[in-house]
Every structure is written in C-alpha cells, then in structure tokens.
Amino acid sequence: MAGSRSTVLLQGESGTGKELIAKALHMNSPRRERAFVPVNTGSVPPDLLESTLFGHVKGAFTSAIASKKGLFEIADHGTIFLDEIGTTSLDTQAKILRVLQDKRFMHLGGVQEIQSDVRVIAATNVDLKQLVREGKFRDDLYYRLNVITIDLPPLRERLEDIPLLVDFFLKKFCEENDKNVRQIAPEALQVLLDYGWPGNVRELENAMERAVVLATGTLLGVSLLPPQILGRTSSLPPLEPHPEASLFDIIEDCERRVITDMLEKCNWNQTEAAERFHVPLSTLNQKIKRLNIEVKKKSRE
C-alpha cells in the first residue's frame, strides 16, 4: 500500500512503532523525495493545533506578529503523519476532513484558499469507533481516515520479534556508545521473553540502551536489566485465603490483586489500565475506590 495515495489509519498501543510504520510507508512511496511531517496532535495545546496544522496570517490572534505556514502546507506533495488523531477537537476534525475531501484549506484568519496535495497517515491508540459512538469523533472523518487500516499488535503478542529486536538494539547502542557487547545471555533473553511489555517496543528499546550503557564486558547479563522488568517476570503469587474467608472476600482479594498488578504494569496510568481491561475508566476508578487500592504516583522512567 506504500505506492497508493490512499489515507492510512494505524491502530495500536503506545510504543508499538506506529511512526516507524508511517515513515516506512512514506519512504517506499513516490513521495519519498518530499517532506515527511510528523505531528503529535495530543501534545499540541488545542488552541494552537489549528494554527500548527493550517498556519495563520499576521494579526490572526494576539501573538501572531507574522504570517506562518502550517504543516499541511509544508508537507505539500509529501506525507503528514497525524499521531493521536483521537485527541483533536471536533472543530479541527472538520478542517482536517475538508483537506482530505477538497485538498484545500485556509490559514487561520485568512481568506485565500490554499491547495495542498498531501497524503495523510493517521494513528491512534484509542478506539475511534467508540469515540464516534460517544460523539467525540466525527463519523465522516473516521470513514475518510479508515480507508486502509493497519493494526499493530502489542509486543506481548509477538514474542518471536523480541530476539530480533534485541539483536538490532544491541548493535545500535553498542555503536552509539562505543561498547563491545557481543551477545545477550540466554537467561537474560528469557527474562525479556517472560515480561509483559506494557510500554511495547519503546520500553524494550529503553531497556536495551540502559543495559548496553551499564555493560562492562562482552556479555549482557540479567543484572543489567531494569529493576521493573526483573520484578514483573513472574505471575501473581498463589492465593492463600484465610480459612474463615467467605467466597465474596476471596473474590474481592483476587480482584484487588489483579487490578493492582495491572496498574503496576501500566506505571500506575489508570487510563492505560482501563484500556487493557477493556472497561470504561469510570468503572476502573469505582473498583479502585471500592477495593481501597492505594494508587501510587507514576514514576518518571
């Protein structure tokens, strides 16, 4: 599909490599000599996103002291990658839809239409269909984006990729850090295979970089792996209920342990945990409160 002009929607958890796929589509397309412009729509403040995408004229708003091109203009005849598309406002969605339909847009505060021949690749780590049902995402834009869909499975569902990725990252970080680590110990590789990888490929990359930087010899051993990976390779310990515990108490204890384990794997990100449990965030929050689970602050990794 790289040679096509059609819009592509990439779906997958955070860290599964959606931007890498977008770059691969661009670099194998007839547009590869033109710009590839990535923008994380979730990291741009809503009041600045429209100006970022479509540009503005001088005086369009208080701080607009000069006219500025938007990313759709910069990406003309190239590819624009809209990451976290589900976070955009309905107003911005309407303007993105118009670009897809008519290949035209106007600068913020402008009156002149600008043509833009851009291939759009969008990505999301949330269920856009659910957002459409909730009225938070335009159904017409969803169908425009969802021409070709690529679902990126999480790393825990493609364990056969881990040895290949480990080898790639080992060579990459040895070269960057002038190290001579030649191989990973079998027991260390097994730890990586047993881990759940809530952060997906990005987390594996960070773990490998850390291990290579700390290495002093030619073998990457278990001791060089991050503590959070070493602490989460085994399943929950066996449940040993109190002899006088009722069935209700045992079920509550199981539920508490499972939720706490998932929160730890998600670095105490309740939104991510709710997504992995396939339940609304409000439902998870209610259970956390009812079960008296102490929610820890997210660590900075």
Share of the chain above pLDDT 90, in %: 55
| 256 CA to centre of own chain | 27
What pLDDT, on a 0 to 100 scale, did the predictor assign at position 234?
A: 41
What pLDDT, on a 0 to 100 scale, did the predictor assign at position 241?
A: 63
- Mean pLDDT along residues 116-126: 94
Nearest CA to 39 among 77, 68, 85, 81? 81
- Mean pLDDT along residues 201-230: 91
**Tell me: the pLDDT tens digits for 231-249?**
744 444 556 666 777 777 7
Query: How is residue 166 written in tokens?
Result: 């480990």
| 134 CA to centre of own chain | 22
- Domain 8-152 coded CATH 3.40.50.300: yes
Share of the chain above pLDDT 70, in %: 93
Q: Which amino acid is at 77?
A: H
Q: Which CATH class is domain 236-301?
A: mainly alpha
CATH of span 159-230: 1.10.8.60
How do the domains of the chain map onto residue ranges?
8-152, 159-230, 236-301
Q: Band the pLDDT of 274: cuts 50, 70, 90.
A: confident
Q: Tell me the sheet residues that pair with 114.
A: 105
Mean pLDDT of the chain: 87
What pLDDT, on a 0 to 100 scale, did the predictor assign at position 233?
A: 42
**8 Cβ contact list (under 8 Å, min separation 6):** 1, 22, 25, 120, 121, 122, 147, 148, 149, 150
> 0.75 exceeded by the pTM?
no
Q: What does the alpha-carbon distance between residue 161 and residue 216 come to, in Å, rounded to a whole number?
A: 26
Q: Cα 202–266–278 angle (5° rounding)?
A: 110
